[in-house]
Structure 1
Amino acid sequence: MKKRIIILGSVVLAVVVVWSLAWFVLAGLVKQQISAQAQADGIASPQIVCGTLNLGGFPFRLDADCAQARIVSGDAVVELPGLRASVQVDNPSHLLVSALGPLQLTDTFTGSRNAVTWSALEASIRLDNWRIARASISGKDLVWSDTLVGQSLIAQAPLAEFHLFDIPEQHDPDRHTAALAGYLLAKDLVYPGLTLTDTNAEIQLELSGLPDDVRNWGTPDVLPALQAANGQLKIVAVHGTDAAATLDASGALALDPQAQIDGTITITSTGVAERIGPLLEEPWRTLVLGTAGPDGTYANQLNFRAGGIFSGLVPIATIGPLY
């Protein structure tokens, strides 16, 4: 009996030692990767610098706490008091991220400065064989302000969410393509620039033809691959309402063999044309929103083809090839 207890104790001790060693090896690799990101050029790859980097969560979790985070991507510089990323050691494909505000956003090219505050901001990404199974970001009590001179409110919302879901039936393992459904929700949005108050908005999208490995999303040939796979951005529904206006849109866009956008978007609205009058002068307002019917509803179809944007049959703008 005593011998069995000794053997069992030895096995438990060995498991603890191996588990602990694995945790510290993983923590070292994560720290190495984060430190390497601080050496990125901020153009081809975002540069992420932590004032202080701590790793914790032993033994079952791995938490990377980045205090005074600074992220540089092109002309954009983002600064945060704190950024945390966490994974369960036994489930490293599920990443949880949270952030402390306020976020400071600077555009070094234009000189603009914005700030975003929140009471809670969290994100979650779950992968399945490097394919996104689900990704979500949720913010509460969001306030976006221009801080270049004083502080001027741009927009605010008590709740905003964005979710991505894998569409399993559209996964093609032979062609290595996948499809995602996207859902965006904003509740009681206030946007003084368009005199929006208590506005609710929902957007539903589907994007097909994506590489089924997220590691390939940043490659230079991602758009040609999307076109070759007949990928399509389907605007399932855009629906926005407030006390005085409604806006609905739907359609589908793709890339033609010349890398130009091809497709249509149908827009219907009430009360929007009157509201954006000072911001979108005629004839552009009518070319985008259409004309009002007997019931006061505006309707129009925007067509994208051969490098142009058409309001019905009337050309209104050009768009060059995307690659």
Structure 2
Amino acid sequence: MSDLTSAPRRRSRFGLYAVPVAVLIAAVLWSGFWFFAASQVGVQADAWRAQEAKAGRIYDCDKRSVAGYPFRLEIRCEQPSVMLVSQTASPQMSFVARLAEILVVAQIYDPKLVIAEFKGPATIAERNAQPTLQVDWRLGRASVVGLPAVPQRASLVFDDLAIDRTGGPAPTPLMRVNHIELHGRQVEGSAPDNPAIESVLQINGGTLQEVHPLLTQPFNADIHARLNGLKDFSPKPWPDRFREIQAAGGSVEIQQSRIEQGDVLSVAAGTLRLNAQGRIEGELQMTVAGLERVIPALGIDKMLEEGVPQSTLDRVAPGVKSQDLSNLFGALDRAIPGLGKVIKQNANAGISAGINSLGTEATLEGKKARSFPLRFADGAVFLGPLKVAQIPPLF
């Protein structure tokens, strides 16, 4: 009897191995791509450093490493430094900033988004000199979208930021901020050869020393602005950038500014420009609630206690000499102790009333307020007829 039963057909094992082999090949290709991208980090960093050096910003890194395999690129720079040359209105001045570490992270599948974390403390010093400033923070982070081409937007965030002056027996506090954010983005639709930049600055719990008495008490700020007059984003020293903006008729539009400090609240909007000498010109329309609390911080009472400057008398009382007025206050005190002080206080109250009568009545977030212009003329800041600050030239 013949055996008609056929032998069972052997199944192909190709399908069994196809998927693992494909995964292995993909892993090899992906690994090759990652290591190639990692090898280009140094090349791109050196090219960027060369561009920045032409603009007077010289970057260096004591030790650089790349990690993050398989889906990220983590570039770690230990003991980074930047030397700033010709970045101020005094070209002969140069500064060196150093910090502990920078970690830059980019996803392989989204390389246009770059996130950086900063580790403090940082020091700032004039070239070949001992550090004069120390900056520290609990959290420092930045992000940029759009690299390696022109950035589309960027952000910078710090928590518990502290800046101290060093070099003395003990560090002197200059700035404290609980939280600060700076955001910038290119306005959609703006021309490539004339880009406009929108920016937002937010400060929570900030104090500044050695700038103005108004800023020594904690304040919150939220400022929205637009910069016009840029020609390009090519690296160049800041004075050159400011000079270029001035020549192009550029401006900074303060679209919204809200500053809160205790019972004092102010909002402002307006446009500022640079004149040919690099000084700020323009006007902000302000509305302030609690203006009477600002008067002592502006130093008007101190001005009266220490003597009225002759320049002020020439403006408000021509022919009266400052020495004569000081002698009068002294004679009154000698005749009736305390009388001169009372007159000064009454005079200060009169000035307060005059300041409070500036502009027009207004209501700001349910509070009584005054609306008036804050003028900038050749870098000087005027509240009505009173000069309250002087801003140095930007180039």
TM range (shorter): 0.7 to 0.9
Other structure's SS at 1:132 match:
coil
Q: Which residue of the other structure, out of 41, 48, 51, is the alignment partner of 1:30?
A: 41
* TM-score, structure 2 as length reference: 0.64
Note if 1:94 corresponds to 2:167.
Answer: no
The aligned residue for residue 201 of structure 2 is: 184
Secondary structure of 2:222's partner? strand
TM-score by length of 1: 0.77
Task: Measure how far apart 1:254 and its partner are.
Answer: 4.7
* Larger RCO: 1 or 2 (CA < 8 Å, sep 6+): 2
| Gapped regions of structure 2 (runs ≥ 5) | 1-11, 86-93, 316-351, 362-368
Q: Percent identity?
A: 21
Counterparts of residues 56-71 of structure 1 (less than 5 Å):
56-71=67-82
AA aligned to 1:178 is P
The Cα of 1:77 is off from its aligned counterpart by 1.1
CA distance, structure 2, for counterparts of residue 320 and residue 157 of structure 1: 26
d(CA) in 1 for partners of 2:384 and 2:218? 36
Q: Is the 8 A contact 1:137 1:162 kept in 2?
A: yes
User: What corresponds to 1:300 in structure 2?
Assistant: 373
Q: 1:148 to 1:224 in 2, by over 3 A?
A: closer
Q: Which moved more, 1:13-22 or 1:145-154?
A: 13-22
Cα offsets for 1:119-169 (capped at 9, x unmatched): 11111111288343331111111111111212111121211111113432x
Alpha-carbon distance in 1 for matches of 2:68, 2:44: 18
Structure 2 counterparts to residues 1-323 of structure 1, below 5 A: 2-35=13-46, 44-74=55-85, 75-108=94-127, 113-127=132-146, 130-149=149-168, 150-168=170-188, 170-172=189-191, 176-193=193-210, 194=213, 196-210=216-230, 214=233, 216=234, 218=236, 231-254=250-273, 263-269=282-288, 270=291, 271-277=293-299, 292-294=355-357, 297=370, 299-302=372-375
SS in 2 for 1:14: helix
Q: Specify the SS of the correspondent of 2:45.
A: helix
Task: Report if the CA contact (8 A) 2:280-2:376 is conserved.
Answer: no
- 1:198-254 per-position Cα deviation (integer Å, ceiling 9, x unaligned): 31112111123545x74x354898668757876442111222221254444321135
1:94-116: CA deviation from partner (whole Å, max 9, x where unpaired): 11010111111112388661111
Distance 1:51 1:280, change over 3 A: farther
Q: Which has the larger radius of gyration?
A: 2
CA contact (8 A) 1:42 1:72 kept: no
Distance 2:375 2:225 in 1: 17
Cα distance in 2 for residues equivalent to 1:264 and 1:204: 16
Query: If each structure's helix is expressed as a fraction of its own residues, which one has the higher value?
Result: 2
Preserved contact between residue 135 and residue 164 of structure 1 (Cα < 8 Å):
yes
**Residues 303, 312 of structure 1: 8 Å contact kept:** no
Are residues 246 and 321 of structure 1, via their aligned partners in 2, closer, same or farther at CA, if it must alter by over 3 Å? closer
Inter-CA distance 247–108: structure 2 relative to 1 (3 Å threshold): farther
Q: Tell me what 2:344 maps to.
A: none
The superposition leaves residues 243-283 of structure 1 with CA deviations (integer Å, 9 ceiling, x where unpaired) of 25444432113568999976433345523342131899688
Structure with more strand by fraction: 1
Question: CA, structure 1 residues 225+77, in 2 after alignment: closer, same or farther (shift >3 Å)?
Answer: closer
Q: Distance in 2 between matches of 1:41 and 1:232?
A: 25
The CA deviation string for residues 24-45 of structure 1, in whole angstroms up to 9 with x for no partner, is 2221221234356677895734
- Given that 1:177 and 1:229 are in contact with CA atoms closer than 8 Å, whether structure 2 keeps it comes out as no
What amino acid maps onto 2:155 in structure 1? S
Alpha-carbon distance between aligned partners in 2 of 1:68 and 1:321, rounded to the nearest angstrom:
30
Q: Is the 8 A contact 1:82 1:100 kept in 2?
A: yes
Q: Distance in 1 between matches of 2:160 and 2:383?
A: 40
Structure 1 residues 86 and 45: alpha-carbon distance in aligned structure 2, compared to 1, 3 A threshold: farther
- Secondary structure in 1 matching 2:178: strand
2:279/2:391 contact within 8 Å kept: no
What is the CA–CA distance in structure 2 between the aligned matches of 1:34 and 1:280, rounded to whole Å?
Answer: 54
The RMSD of aligned alpha carbons is: 4.2
For the 8 Å contact 2:226–2:255, the answer to whether it is kept is yes
What secondary structure is seen at the aligned counterpart in 2 of 1:130? coil
State whether residues 292 and 298 of structure 1, in contact with CA within 8 Å, keep that contact through their aligned partners in structure 2.
Answer: no
Residue-pair matches, total: 311
